Structure 1
Amino acid sequence: MTRLTHLAVLTAASLLSAAPALGQETALNVAVALPGHDLTPWGMFMAADGVVKTVILGLALASVATWTVLVAKSLELKNRTHAQRAAFEAVDAARTLNEAAADERAARSPLMQAALAELALSSNALNDGEGLKERVASRFNRIEAALGRRMVRGTGALATIGATAPFVGLFGTVWGIMNSFIGIAASQTTNLAVVAPGIAEALLATAIGLVAAIPAVVIYNHFARQTAVYRALVGDTSAAILRLISRDLSRGVRG
């Protein structure tokens, strides 16, 4: 009995002495297993599921579209706002409609062209000043609406991207995590070194979704403010032209 007890004590001591070595070996195996997974964004994308890859590619294309709209729309808004401001300054400084029309900055404005066209069509009805101003104002309303629609063209895509990109990225994340849990069930292991790469690949979709959505929302709000400034300039120009027409009609009545 004493011999058996002594043998048991020796066996337990040998196991206890071997435990740190086993722990070191397990840690070494984990450390060796981790470099097998490329945890850079490109490496996670290449190792991702087909559905997750499709989601990430779609979000990347949406991000490219956002920055393309930013560049193209910024140039368009800058040029049109500059031209509209120059037209307003020319019209506001003129004393008569003919003087304003002689200025090249105002002559290029569709508002001035519409006013001159209506005056030509109403040449035999200039005595009805209120009717003339009403017809010119009607033309201006339609032109202002058309110019406003032209300025917001393309920005609707930014609103769509900003509203849907996070949810599209979340779909890719849910799909990837679902596949990771299926892999856990199949391998019958909960070792973090085994399941972490799949979860990281899934979370990459959400990150790309936020990268696509946040700039789209910021840029859309920026364009909304700039478009409001442009519309205000168009409204100021149309009001200035109507004032010139009213002055000319009053001078005609007095003459």
Structure 2
Amino acid sequence: MSAPDLSLLGLVLQAGPVVQGVMALLLLASLACWAIAIEKAILLGRLSRQMRRLAAAEGGAAGEGLAAEVQRAAAREWSGGRDPGESRAEYRERIERAMRDALSAGLRGVQGGLPLLATTGAVAPFIGLFGTVWGIMGSFQGIAQAHDTSLAVVAPGIAEALLATAIGLLAAIPAVIAYNRLILRFARLRQEGMTAIGAIGARLSARPPQAATPAAAA
């Protein structure tokens, strides 16, 4: 009787169809999470530059990107001037609200894929554990049929089953780390954007447009 192949590839090939399906699902989820993490890391670099442009008011409202979108939202509210009976504080709040809405919409549009990271991080270990339990059940059935409880008979089946849990952890751990880091960076960028919005709102509300009526500019 030949010795069982206990290499990683051998364990995968010798596993049952259910355990192989669990492994394949976890590997696909892991690949998707890595792709999302890399894409968001590149995107966050671009957003960081956009927030610096917004803080410095560079490029103006005629450019492209999130900074320009926020400045265009501010320009639309500012160009109409203050409404009759509207205080300067209310005028500033209206300008800043338009900018906050534009910033929030822009950030929501680039956060797609983060729920998959969170789901993979939370669920992958349990999916791997399901594959392990299923594989161990199969091993015990094989033991009962062979009437042999020696380690040589038990070890291959248990190793195949435990590999599913290991793959589940390998999929979950990077997904959790990536999700937490990305959420933190998005929160920081949002805070930087809010700080810039406050500065822009204060500047614009103190400088009414030329088209404003005398009453509005008062």
- Tell me if both proteins adopt one fold, taking TM over 0.5 as the criterion: yes
Q: Which residue of the partner structure matches residue 112 of structure 2?
A: 153
Shift of 1:115: 1.2
Deviation at 1:125, TM superposition (A): 3.7
1:134-213 correspondence to structure 2 within 5 Å: 134-213=93-172
* Structural mapping, 1:37-48, within 5 Å: 37-48=4-15
Change (3 A) 1:241 1:137: same
1:9 paired residue number:
none
SS in 1 for 2:191: helix
Question: Within 5 A, what are the aligned runs for 1:24-173?
Answer: 33=1, 35-90=2-57, 101=60, 109-120=68-79, 122-123=80-81, 125=83, 128-130=86-88, 131-173=90-132
Letter aligned with residue 164 of structure 2: A
Q: Secondary structure at the match of 1:248?
A: coil
- Please list the CA deviations of residues 94-121 of structure 1 after superposition, one character each: whole Å capped at 9, or x if unmatched: xxxxxx848969995212101111233x
Say which SS state the counterpart of residue 206 (structure 2) adopts. Answer: helix
Instruction: Give the distance between the partners of 2:97 and 2:208, measured in 1 at CA.
Output: 18
More deviation, 146-155/167-176: 146-155
Aligned with 1:39: secondary structure? Answer: coil
Question: How far apart in 1 are the matches of 2:61 and 2:132?
Answer: 63
How far did 1:147 drift? 2.7
Unaligned runs of 5+ in 1: 1-32, 92-99
Q: 1:202 to 1:123 in 2, by over 3 A?
A: same
Deviations along 1:151-174, one digit per CA (max 9) or x if unpaired, are 432111111000000000000000
What is the TM-score of this pair, normalised by structure 2? 0.87
The letter of the residue matching 1:166 is P
Distance in 2 (alpha carbons) for counterparts of 1:198 and 1:106: 55
Instruction: Decide whether the 8 Å contact of 2:143 with 2:149 is kept in 1.
Output: yes
Q: Counting helix residues as a fraction of each chain, which structure ranks higher?
A: 1
Give the match's secondary structure for 1:80: helix
Once the two structures are superposed, residues 33-69 of structure 1 have per-residue CA deviations (whole angstroms, 9 ceiling, x without a partner) of 4x53111111100000000000000000011011101
| Aligned mates of 2:15, 2:66 — CA distance in 1 | 59
Number of aligned residue pairs: give it: 213
| Structure 2: gaps (5+ residues) | none
Q: Tell me the distance in 1 between the aligned counterparts of 2:163 and 2:66.
A: 54
RMSD: 2.8
Task: Say yes or no: does 1:217 pair with 2:176.
Answer: yes
Task: Report the identity percentage.
Answer: 39
- Give the letter for the 2:141 counterpart: I
TM-score w.r.t. the length of structure 1 is 0.75
Deviation at 1:205, TM superposition (A): 0.2
Instruction: Check whether the contact 2:4–2:156 (CA below 8 A) recurs between aligned residues.
Output: yes
> Which protein is bigger by CA-based radius of gyration?
1
